[in-house]
Structure 1
Amino acid sequence: MLKINNLNVFYGGIHALKGINIDVEEGKIISLIGANGAGKTTTLGTIMGLVKPSEGTIYYEGEPIINRRTKDIVKKGIVLAPEGRRIFPNLTVEENLILGAYVRENKEAIKKDMQWVYSLFPRLKERMWQKGGTMSGGEQQMLAVGRALMTKPKILMLDEPSLGLAPLIVKDIFEIIKQIHKEGVTILLIEQNAKAALQIADYGYVLETGKVVLEGKGMELLNNEEVQKAYLGEAQ
């Protein structure tokens, strides 16, 4: 569905991505794990057309998307819920969700998907007239994911959805990710919480300093001694 081949990205003199290859199969949850500065967010930014690569190709459903405008990439069905939530703090929950559907025109379908988002996140429905900036971190993360879903994505890319959240809220977020996946959405998940990410992943990639150093099925990586030492604290 989404294929990244030999992707290289430079920030000035920094070689941020060093020839990475990633394959996102339709209907799967793919997790990309690694420490801060490994190149995870850069990867998503390049897919979305926000970062220009120096070399490499990205194909979506067999079609190259490098050098496409971000708006056109979104219209094709690739959507990013960014790190740090990036909601509109002065707008209400409902207004944030409506903005998520800005590339769509079918009003009835938009209304239907609004109800779907509210069914996934009942707390958002309870607070539909509350301004986003007055909500808790967990609620804002739910709003960021809900807003992305309003775009009707084929691939939903989530950048650190558990960052800064209490463990109980993190558990809720990952349950919702699984539910979204069951609804037929392909997911590319970036996470520092390697255990949670790999537990739900069909396939995973480990990034270190801009390189893919390990890849495999989610549970295989979870049980990999190197991954356990580096990302789970200890070998188990």
Structure 2
Amino acid sequence: MLSVKDLHVSYGGIRALRGININIEQNKIVTLIGANGAGKSSALRAIMGLVKAEKGSIKYDDRELLGKSTKNIVKMGISLVPEGRKVFSNLTVEENLILGAYTRNDKETIKKDIERQYELFPRLKERSWQKAGTLSGGEQQMLAVARGLMIRPKLLMMDEPSLGLAPLLVKDIFEIIKEIHRQGNTILLVEQNAKKALEIADYGYVLETGQLILEGEGKELLNNPKVQEAYLGEMKN
């Protein structure tokens, strides 16, 4: 479905990615884990065309993404739920969802998809009239995910969906990710909560200073002593 080969990305002289290779198969959950500054978000931003790659290839269903605009990449069926939620604070919940479907013209189907999001996120339905900036952190994260689903993506990419959330809400977000996957979505997940991410992932990649140092099935990485020592300290609790 998505194949990243020898991808290099730099920001102002800093090499964020140093020739990484990633493969994402259809209907799988794939996770990228690593410390802050490892290059996880840079990988997502390069796939979306938000940063320019110096070298490499990103193919989606055998079509090259490098050089394409972000809008065209979205039209191809790739959606990004950004780090920090980035909801439109002065717009209502429903207006945020409508904007999530900005590449679509099918008004009747868009209405049905809004109702589908309300079924997945009942709290958003209760607050459909409310301005997004007045929602709690957890509700804003739910809105960001729901908005990302409004283009009917084939590949949903999520950047730190549990960041800054209370433990109970972290559990809820991961249950939602599993439900989205059950509904047929392929997911690429960037997440600092490595334990939670690897528990639900079919496959995982470990990034360190822009390079891939390990990869394998989620459960395999979860039980890897090196991964446990570096990223899964919470497993000892």
State the TM-score, normalized to the length of structure 2. 0.98
Could you tell me which residue of structure 2 aligns to residue 181 of structure 1? 181
Alignment of 1:103 with 2:99, yes or no, is: no
Please give the alpha-carbon distance, in whole angstroms, between the structure 2 residues aligned to 1:124 and 1:46: 30
Q: Which runs of 5+ in 1 are unaligned?
A: none
State the TM-score, normalized to the length of structure 1. 0.98
Identity of aligned residues (%): 68
SS of residue paired to 2:3: strand
**CA deviation digits over 1:1-59, x for unaligned, max 9?**
00000000111221110000000110000000011000001000000001101110000
- Runs of 4+ deviating beyond 3 Å: none
**Structure 2 CA distance for partners of 1:167 and 1:62, relative to 1, 3 Å:** same
Alignment of 1:2 with 2:5, yes or no, is: no
- Is the 2:162–2:173 contact (alpha carbons within 8 Å) kept by the matching residues of 1? yes
SS of residue paired to 2:163: coil
SS of residue paired to 1:8: strand
Could you tell me which residue of structure 2 aligns to residue 142 of structure 1? 142
Alignment of 1:163 with 2:166, yes or no, is: no
Could you tell me which residue of structure 1 aligns to residue 55 of structure 2? 55
Q: CA deviation at 1:235?
A: 7.7
- Is the 1:162–1:193 contact (alpha carbons within 8 Å) kept by the matching residues of 2? yes
Alignment size in residue pairs = 236
- Is the 1:191–1:197 contact (alpha carbons within 8 Å) kept by the matching residues of 2? yes
Amino acid in structure 1 at the alignment position of 2:68: R
**Structure 2 CA distance for partners of 1:92 and 1:27, relative to 1, 3 Å:** same
Q: CA deviation at 1:111?
A: 1.3
Task: Map 1:17-28; keep pairs closer than 5 Å.
Answer: 17-28=17-28
Could you tell me which residue of structure 2 aligns to residue 191 of structure 1? 191
Please give the alpha-carbon distance, in whole angstroms, between the structure 2 residues aligned to 1:221 and 1:116: 34
Q: CA deviation at 1:95?
A: 0.3
Q: CA deviation at 1:234?
A: 7.1
SS of residue paired to 2:227: helix
SS of residue paired to 1:68: coil
Amino acid in structure 1 at the alignment position of 2:220: E
CA RMSD of aligned residues (A): 0.9
**Structure 2 CA distance for partners of 1:170 and 1:235, relative to 1, 3 Å:** closer
Amino acid in structure 2 at the alignment position of 1:191: E
SS of residue paired to 2:79: strand
Please give the alpha-carbon distance, in whole angstroms, between the structure 2 residues aligned to 1:235 and 1:36: 19
**Structure 2 CA distance for partners of 1:107 and 1:16, relative to 1, 3 Å:** same
Q: CA deviation at 1:107?
A: 1.4
Please give the alpha-carbon distance, in whole angstroms, between the structure 1 residues aligned to 2:72 and 2:83: 21
**CA deviation digits over 1:187-221, x for unaligned, max 9?**
00000000000000000000000001000000000
Alignment of 1:31 with 2:61, yes or no, is: no
Please give the alpha-carbon distance, in whole angstroms, between the structure 2 residues aligned to 1:136 and 1:121: 14
Task: Map 1:111-130; keep pairs closer than 5 Å.
Answer: 111-130=111-130
Could you tell me which residue of structure 1 aligns to residue 42 of structure 2? 42
Amino acid in structure 1 at the alignment position of 2:22: I
